[in-house]
Chains A and B, each alone.
Chain A
């Protein structure tokens, strides 16, 4: 059990509050520029359809970056994140002129001294997009 200040105490099994991020084409373009990943499946609908995708899809690493933001917000900043892993099981589909959700939550699964291990859940339109998503943070 870890006392995290105020009246809040976390223990194995504690479920952290849900946060919803919203993705649109502009965010995908911004992430492409910030990350250097200019693969056209994340920006060009015609290209995405031509390679058999249902529409433009978000970079898996954008989904992971946003999930990382959720983790670091809870843990008290980017410096607190020590390990972070995920499998990209389904794409986040981003149609033109729409905002789609990325809904993130987490469960505390292990506490070892100051290191806390989280199992993360990330869905979009109700579909699980990250599998085996885990983080280890210190706080």
Chain B
């Protein structure tokens, strides 16, 4: 079970993530995007998902990552990510509920470059019971 005390808490990533051109190029190549001056709209999931994994699998929260299914995803993109962005990631566990034996977690990720909010995203993650 997920620790219910984690709901409402915001966790700031320990590391700043520097976005490289090759990361953008690789992501763009998979979807056939030739213009890599900016990152594709869903690129930020690369950063958010890895941070969710780091945070949610901490023993105090206790998500079993191997039983995780992605339920839905939303992005609000204030400006596209570009190579050289140094992103600070924070994740907030917004809600936690149990339905049909599954735990359903809503998490929000905010990516800042310095003081500038670049992308906010929301994910529903389902831990299969």
A residues near B, CB below 8 A?
21, 27, 30-31, 33-37, 59-62, 64-66, 68-69, 71-72, 77-79, 81-88, 132
A33 to B46, CA, bound (A): 10
Q: Mark B27-52, 1 if CB is under 8 A from A, else 0.
A: 10111110100111110011001100
A71 to B33, CA, bound (A): 12
B76 lies within 8 A of chain A by Cβ = yes
Known: A61-B45, A72-B40, A81-B77. A86 touches B72 (CB 8 A): yes
CB neighbours (8 Å) of B38 from chain A are 77-79
CB neighbours (8 Å) of A37 from chain B are 49
B102 to chain A, nearest CB (A): 13
The 3 closest A-B pairs by CB, nearest first: A85-B74, A87-B72, A81-B41
B71 lies within 8 A of chain A by Cβ = yes
Known: A34-B27, A69-B31. A64 touches B40 (CB 8 A): no
Tell me how many residue pairs across A and B have CB atoms closer than 8 Å.
90
Sample of 4 more A-B contacts, CB < 8 Å, known A60-B73, A69-B33, A132-B72: A36-B46, A64-B73, A78-B80, A87-B71
A81 to B35, CA, bound (A): 14
Contact residues of B between 50 and 78, Cβ < 8 Å to A: 50, 69-77
Cβ–Cβ contact B41 & A68, under 8 A: yes
A98 to B69, CA, bound (A): 24
Cβ–Cβ contact A36 & B42, under 8 A: no
A60 to B42, CA, bound (A): 11
Report the nearest B residue to A75, measured CB to CB: B41
Prevailing SS type, chain A contact patch = helix
CB neighbours (8 Å) of B30 from chain A are 27, 30-31, 34, 62, 65
B18 lies within 8 A of chain A by Cβ = no
Report the nearest B residue to A59, measured CB to CB: B70
B20 lies within 8 A of chain A by Cβ = no
Cβ–Cβ contact A65 & B26, under 8 A: no
The one of A33, A68, A85 that contacts B31, using a Cβ cutoff of 8 Å: A68
B73 to chain A, nearest CB (A): 6
Known: A78-B38, A83-B77. A30 touches B72 (CB 8 A): no
Cβ–Cβ contact A83 & B74, under 8 A: yes
A66 to B114, CA, bound (A): 30
A61 to B39, CA, bound (A): 15
Cβ–Cβ contact A34 & B35, under 8 A: no
Report the nearest B residue to A70, measured CB to CB: B31
